[in-house]
Structures are given as C-alpha cells and as structure tokens.
C-alpha cells in the first residue's frame, strides 16, 4: 500500500537531491507540490513510501528515473515575447548596429519549452534578413526540450506574438491539428535544443555567443548557485557580448566580469 504522505526527513532528502542535481532550492512550502508530482512515480514502481523512492534513486542505477524526477520538479513557466523590453533592446540596440557578416549566435540558456528561443528567432529573422544567424536553446529537462524541438504549440499560447510575426512565422494547424500552430521550418532549422545542466562547466563545443539569455531561472537559486551558474556561462559569451537576465533578477554581488548597461542587461568588456 502506498503512503502518499511525506515526512519532514524524507522531504529534506529530496530537497538536498534536487539542489545537488539542478541547484534548485526547494522551499518547505513546495512539499505539497512534490507529493503531488511524485506520487505517481511511487505507483509506477509499486513503492510504499517516498523514502523507498529516494533510496531507489540513490542507488545510481536509475538515471532515467532521476531525469523524470527532475522533469517533474522543475518549473517551466514561459510564453512568447515574455518581458518584451528585452526583445526591443535586442532589436533596436544590438541588432540595429550589427554589421559583421559572420553568423550571429544567441543562446537561450533556460529555454524551457522553446517560446523564448523562437521569440528570439522571429526577432533575428526580421532584423537580419541578409545575415546568417543561429540560436541554441538549452534546459535541464528532457521533457520540455522535446516540446521545444517540435515547435508545436496551442493557439492559446499566441498572446504576445505580434500579428505580423504570427502570419509570417507560425503555421496554423488544420483538421486533427486544429487549435494549434507550428513554428515555420525556416526558423526551426536555425534553432537547435540541447540538454545542458548549468551547474556544470559548459562544453566549449557549444561555441561562443553574441547574446546569452538567462532569464527567470536564477530566482530558484541561492547566491552560491547563482555565482556558479554565471561563472559557467560567461566563458561562452564573446567579448562585447550581452547577458540578459529576468526583470526580477540581479547580478549584484554575483560577478564583476560583466557591466550593467541597463537594469537586467549586462555587457562583457
């Protein structure tokens, strides 16, 4: 029989585990959320308690299940053209002065289900019609990355997309796909998605970027983890490049390797 309650001791084990894996500080207020999202996993393995589930994960023999746990416990709230002033800055300040013929690269470092990456793609497609560009999206959750790569969304998610962009870059579904839309192939082929844990040093093979978006993810980190994540990211930002964080976030006390030029917008010297 499954015990769908969790003791404080068991919850503490999961708090430390998700912090170790993803750097997420899971507050005590998230206990109900954890129980709601992980109870089905106990049923899947016919386990009687959260302690049994933790001990199963701790063996190290179930890497796919650890990934499932991470997918279930990470928050993936996002939408198209979220915090629009950042896209205004990208278009009017960065792209408007870009003259290099080389490929302009942007990293959406906490891309979730892809809305941010494709918002950037639409912005670049409009502003750089004659310049090659590329977007890399990354996340720790394999589940949301699969959705991002598909580029297939409900029409209810279109709020924020300018009407002209909607007509040009979004294909409305018909028949069995009615009520949905698909990001156009020309945008999807220039946008790739990769599973990257920002808690670890980023492989140099990903290359360097003119702009890195790291928005609305550091709010889940403590100061030590924020410092670690930013330290891992900055080697991938080109000199003169821009790092953009969420409107409720700051790098004060986190790093002195970038300079604030606007609230939440930083430049690497």
State how far the Cα of 132 lies from the Cα of 101, in Å rounded to an integer.
7
Phi, psi for residue 211 in degrees, rounded to 5: -140, 135
**Residues 6+ away with beta carbon under 8 Å from 115:** 78, 79, 80, 82, 153, 157
139 is an active site residue: yes
The one catalytic residue among 105, 139, 188, 215: 139
State how far the Cα of 121 lies from the Cα of 118, in Å rounded to an integer.
5
| Torsion (CA) 22, 24, 25, 26 in degrees, nearest 10 | -100
The one catalytic residue among 37, 41, 91, 267: 37
Contact by Cβ (8 Å): 193, 140 = no
55 is an active site residue: no
Q: Strand pairing of 180-183 and 209-214?
A: unpaired
The two structure tokens encoding residue 119: 């918002």
**Catalytic center residues:** 37, 139
């Amino acid at each position: 029989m499954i015990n769908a309650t969790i003791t404080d001791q068991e919850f503490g084990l999961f708090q430390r585990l998700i912090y170790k894996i993803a750097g997420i500080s899971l507050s005590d207020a998230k206990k109900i959320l954890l129980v709601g999202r992980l109870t089905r996993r106990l049923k899947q393995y016919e386990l009687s308690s959260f302690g049994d589930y933790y001990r199963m994960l701790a063996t190290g023999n179930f890497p796919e299940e650890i990934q499932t746990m991470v997918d279930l416990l990470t928050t993936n709230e996002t939408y198209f053209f979220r915090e629009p002033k950042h896209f205004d800055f990208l278009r009017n300040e960065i792209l408007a002065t870009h003259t290099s013929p080389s490929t302009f690269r942007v990293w959406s470092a906490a891309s979730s289900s892809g809305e941010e990456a494709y918002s950037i793609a639409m912005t670049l497609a409009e502003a750089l019609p004659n310049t090659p560009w590329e977007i890399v999206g990354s996340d720790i959750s394999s589940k949301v990355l699969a959705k991002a790569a598909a580029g297939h969304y409900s029409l209810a998610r279109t709020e924020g997309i300018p009407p002209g962009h909607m007509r040009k870059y979004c294909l409305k579904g018909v028949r069995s796909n009615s009520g949905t839309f698909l990001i156009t192939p020309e945008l999807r082929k220039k946008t790739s998605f990769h599973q990257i844990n920002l808690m670890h040093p980023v492989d140099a093979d990903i290359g360097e970027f003119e702009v890195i978006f790291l928005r609305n993810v550091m709010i889940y980190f403590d100061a030590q983890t924020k410092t670690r994540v930013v330290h891992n990211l900055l080697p991938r930002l080109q000199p003169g490049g821009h790092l953009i964080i969420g409107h409720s976030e700051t790098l004060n006390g986190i790093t002195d390797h970038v300079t604030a030029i606007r609230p939440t917008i930083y430049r690497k010297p």
